Amino acid sequence: MRIFRHISLIMVALALLPSVPAQAETAGEVYGAYSRMMSRSAGQFWADGRAAGQWAWKPLSDTTSEISWGDPAKWPPSYAEKFVHDGDWVMLDGWRDNGTYYRVRITKEQIGDAKCDDLRTLATSGRQHYVKWDIPGQAYCLKAWGTITEESSGKVVDFGHTQIWSPPAPCANAKYGRKTCVKQWESWWDNQGAPGKPITRKLERDQFIARGIGMAFAIQQYFPKAWRAEAHSDWTW
């Protein structure tokens, strides 16, 4: 079951300038201006001097958009994640791949501070709360547990996902120089291939999403191995 192909496609990274706490006013800043999720936007990221992958957003409605990740030499891919802008949140509904859909539904979600302390229940069912649409001035933590169902077969995988989103701050890479990014740290756990067993860690990384440029501006993977890449180009289509 190819449920987590998206993880391998986006395990890329770049060394950035030292992190600087956001001091600028974030009023009016929205996730869409950084991710470009509500426009026909695309980008390519490189590692080791060559293309490592490509992404492209395809809006489906005023509130829903899907993002594809894949090999630019074999474009378009069959894979695409579906996100919904619902009020204050961007929600992850699931993804399609290899002719089927993988539906994400949570059983418990919590929200807390930048250290994942002071946690409180956010939801106990429905789509996953992925990121706040209006970017707050302080970092926040999201913890989610739930299931991923392969709709063509009914197979179910249990998962856990922890994210820490940080407010806008300076970032840089070799191609674009200095920009402004929001940072996402995430740790992904699941029991794919071992149904009924405890979930285990599969991925840990930082991603930097640049205002006006989009996804994968820089990604620093820590687990399962260190790997780095950076955005090399972006465009609209």
Amino acid letter for position 104: V
What does the pLDDT read at residue 27?
Answer: 66
Stretch 164-182: mean pLDDT: 98
Q: Please tell me which residue, 1 or 200, carries the higher pLDDT value.
A: 200
Q: What is the pLDDT of residues 89-101, one digit of tens each?
A: 999 999 999 999 9
Q: Which two tokens stand for residue 225?
A: 């191995």
pTM (predicted TM-score): 0.89
Q: Pairing state of beta strands 64-70 and 80-86?
A: antiparallel
Stretch 170-190: mean pLDDT: 98
In this predicted structure, the answer to whether residue 18 has a pLDDT above a threshold of 60 is: no
Q: Compute the distance between CA of residue 43 and CA of residue 175 in angstroms, rounded to an integer.
A: 13
In this predicted structure, the answer to whether residue 117 has a pLDDT above a threshold of 60 is: yes
E strand residue ranges, the chain = 41-47, 50-59, 64-70, 80-86, 89-97, 100-112, 120-123, 128-132, 140-150, 156-173, 177-190, 200-210, 214-223, 227-236
What does the pLDDT read at residue 25?
Answer: 43
In this predicted structure, the answer to whether residue 9 has a pLDDT above a threshold of 50 is: no
26: pLDDT confidence band, cut at 50, 70 and 90? Answer: low
Using CA atoms, how far residue 209 sits from 76, 101, 164, in Å, is: 22, 26, 13
Q: Which residues contact 40 (CB under 8 A, 6 or more apart)?
A: 56, 57, 58, 59, 236, 237
Q: Which two tokens stand for residue 160?
A: 């856990």
What does the pLDDT read at residue 21?
Answer: 40
Sequence ranges of the domains in the chain = 5-236
